[in-house]
Structure 1
Amino acid sequence: MKVLVLGLPRTGTQSLADALIQLGISPIYHMREVGKNQHQALWIEAIDAKFEGIGAPWKREDFERILSGFQGVADYPASIFPAELAAAYPEAAVILSIRSEDKWYDSMLATLVHAHRRREKSDDASSSPMATLSRKYHHHCWGDDFEVTGRAFFREHNALVRELGRDRKFLEWQPQDGWGPLCEFLGVEAPVEGTPFPRSDDWVEYKKMVERERLATAGQE
């Protein structure tokens, strides 16, 4: 394992994952890998061990059941386990991806939180493996009340990752920083001048769909 990106979702984690791949650190384990590899049950097992005391806390050999072969991690579910991953992979550099608290809060409400609440109202809410995983982390991370506790969780999480980075190779990075600080931190050459930094967002189509539904509803009033 080379890099642990331990910032929360909606802090540029997908763009950062794609940038690391362009820089030769590949593959990167991102949320999109969960369903592709049918890892939902394993992550639920890890969450149960961490928050519910079901089984022993996960160590390297446990995470390797999911992360073997990957050179980095980014986004949820991995960043639910900052201390555990930092201990499991002491050789890995740590990156804390950040953005302003207000922008993060608004983005979370428009994506992960909105989609979770929408899913919970659907017919397959009880049977979908991804829904079960989502239900677990929404409960344990912000107590199913993001509006009330989300901001505090953001601050506490970032403070913890900064503390974890005190005695190892550590970078605090935000999307507008682009290639420069990242390449210097990793000790690699920057891409050819003019190469745009990835601006990846798996939620673009979801947000468009929600907006279309909002406009359709407004038109019926």
Structure 2
Amino acid sequence: MTWTSRPLCGLDLETTGVNPEVDRIVSAAVALCDGGRPARVSQWLADPGVPIPPGATAVHGITTEAARSAGRPAAVVVAEVVAALVEAVEAGMPLVAMNAPFDLTMLEREAERYDVRSLFSASVPLVLDPRILDKHVDRYRRGSRRLEDLCRTYGVVHGGAHDAGADAVAACEVTAAIADEYPWIGKTPLGELHEQQVRWAADQQAGLREHFAATPGKEYRAASVRTDWPLVPPMKSEGWGQ
């Protein structure tokens, strides 16, 4: 039995910004996807306790006022999201996250902030990252590789970009589609595939670092590119390379 026969657990977060060291979770979704059956999606809206910058609102549509009036305390949301993920991991599900180091590091930092038991202290998740998988199997394809781009590439219908629930489901469906198109991915044991992604991510990010270093006007970005996957160790908050 391969990992493709198991349900997938998708995670997506919408946040106040793009630096897990200082930014906060605004909304979260955990999606359980099992083949052709409708996904079971749990969603949360948090009051992050800080103002949501206009630039972040422009991405996900959630204002500071909306989060304060309808959001639940951030500590409660973080604890419930972690609990849902631990339950899925303990049930043997792979954890799917597009650009996993961002979401998983953000969740880990928030757990530390609120003194909540974190995902990685409570379990050992085996992670699938469609961003890393796609870059490995089709490394020379031109163009953007955001989640909505991958949906078009692999024929996945996206329910709405930057909606946490839709993004979590889409990440699972893109991952399954990659395994369908490249059967060796699906046949690789999950633990082995996790370790391969660690290496692939390091190589891909090292290439990005070299690109920035060699590109006039972008040299300063090279120093902030991290090669860690799927979780970034604590770092000073000078920046976050993408």
Q: Which has the higher contact order (CA 8 A, sep 6+)?
A: 1
